Structure 1
Amino acid sequence: MIDKQLRIKGMLYNLLINKPSEEKYIKFMHTVKKQMEKRKGQDVEGLQFSEEWITRKDGTKLRICIYKPLNPKKEIPGVLWLHGGGYSQGIPELFANTYKRLIGARDCVIVAPDYRLSIDEAPYPAALDDSYTALLWMKSHAKELGIRDNQLIVGGESAGGGLTAAITLYARDQQEVTIAFQMPLYPMMDDRMITESAKENNAPIWNSRTNRWAWKLYLGELFEKDVPVYAAPARATDYSNLPPTITFVGDIEPFRDETIQYVQNLKQAGVPVDFELFKGCYHGFDIINPKAKISKQAISFFIHSFQYAVDHYFAEQK
């Protein structure tokens, strides 16, 4: 079932990531996190990079990474990018290739928050609060960033995709900031794991077992209880007045069906959606093996959709 060019790397990552118990998985995640910490503050060739520390409501500081073109123009799109990692892992610096592709496609400024992680005993709503704090900071500092404050863009992959969907719901309901369009790529949105693709899934990289452990960490005391839609956006029932959406997903990964259902719900609410399903692809295939033919197709779809959205949904309210 796995695309031929994705098989070997998928198997190797499976040997590294998939652990036989929740305890060993969490221990491994702590080890990975320590390694990731060493990459904080890394520059990206061909881009301007800077860090800011912004203040949360409780007075603590949130680190954000800012990426700009080498010669930025004025009033270009501002993109809030939320990294993946099952809500328990990751730092903004890991996704530099995505930033380079987006900025190369259309001049924009990317703000990527180093949001709190569930593995650090910061379950929901920590990541949501940090992401929304960064979004509001972008709006209030639009002039300094060189972006427009009346239309911002939100995107992310995996857990970052789930946060993207959550933030667009939250922003719609709070009515403090306007989102031009969203890009929740293969989003982690449904803690219930009730879809066929989420049940007994043993695909490489991310499967039913790791998915359940990650949701348990992220939801904390809310796990298997009355979970808010801002924690698990697939639980939402009102999809009206949400921004145009770009997304894709692999057809053998756990998030396939919840992504397809999300797309259908948006379309039924009259929201424009650009969506592709890629055959034989496991979770995060475009990042794990970007040189595979099907990964190049997915990346091309994503970037062309981004270009179209900037030229249409972003530009229409200029």
Structure 2
Amino acid sequence: MTATTTTQTPLANEPSPARRLLLTPTAGPLAALVLACVFFSFSTDQFLSGGNFSLIIQQVMVVGTLAIGQTLIILTAGIDLSNGAVMAFGGIVMAKLAVDSGLPPLLAITAGLAVCAGFGLINGLLVTRISLPPFIVTLGMLNVVFALTHIYSQDQTVTGLPAPLTFLGQTFSIGDTAVTYGSVLMIGLFLFFAYLLSQTAWGRHVYALGNSPEVARLTGIRTARLTVGVYTLAGLVYGMAALLLVSRTGVGDPQAGQTDNLDSITAVVLGGTSLFGGRGLVIGSLIGALIVGVFRNGLQLMGVPSIYQTLITGILVILAVTVDQLSRRRTR
């Protein structure tokens, strides 16, 4: 009687670890970022330096933080066109309360964060209670908040901010490279929300809501409450972006953030998050923001006019959405 041995073979349909890596939503954007860095490293001697990379991160930290909140909303198959205006209003509230009203800086910051979260709450309630499309709700809110910003500020830039409001714009040294505290905060926020979305039940519910609201509801998820919570949390993140903006510029500017809503959507799309919801990673939005930052910085160092930077960014967005659409068709 002879013993026979059997060997286990992997399932034919099970993808290899390398293939799973390539199928992740951030694989393409990360490859694009690396290739862009390689290209500009050969194109200009100034690009490949610690100081320049620190500058790129500083330039994208406000839009990158806005992109965190935008990612949360897009994962639910929504969109937020008002985030740049909400951020600008939050910054004005912080600045005017601290300077004109003499409120302690920490209370002024708290009030600005609360105001931004409040606008997020209103957006969420309008989307869920009245069943209005997120595009329409946030488009209307964009105009409302833009007007309130100019009314409240009387179109005056607020200067002379106290130190706590500008602290995040200060730098510390890593070797010969100056790094702002705001850059560290942005990266910390990305890591926190990456954990929240990937390792908690709340994060799994957000993805389920984006994939199919009806299926999510039938599985016991309170979809309306979850949607309101996502919009409110996104508003709070916009308030953090407002603090970063004020810290970086050193003023409360009523003209700020007018194109940041589109820039944040660009970062999310370039990072591999699907505009149809339920698919994407928040770290991808950081990669998307860095792609835009690297292209703008590299082209500027090469002496390319800014209009061509905008042209290339638009092409990249169209390509990213096209890739997402084609991948969705293949999975049907």
TM range (shorter): under 0.3
How high is the TM-score relative to the length of structure 1?
Answer: 0.26
Q: Which has the higher helix share?
A: 2
Q: Which has the higher strand share?
A: 1
Greater relative contact order, per chain length (Cα 8 Å cut-off, separation 6+)? 2
How high is the TM-score relative to the length of structure 2?
Answer: 0.25
| Structure with greater Cα Rg | 2
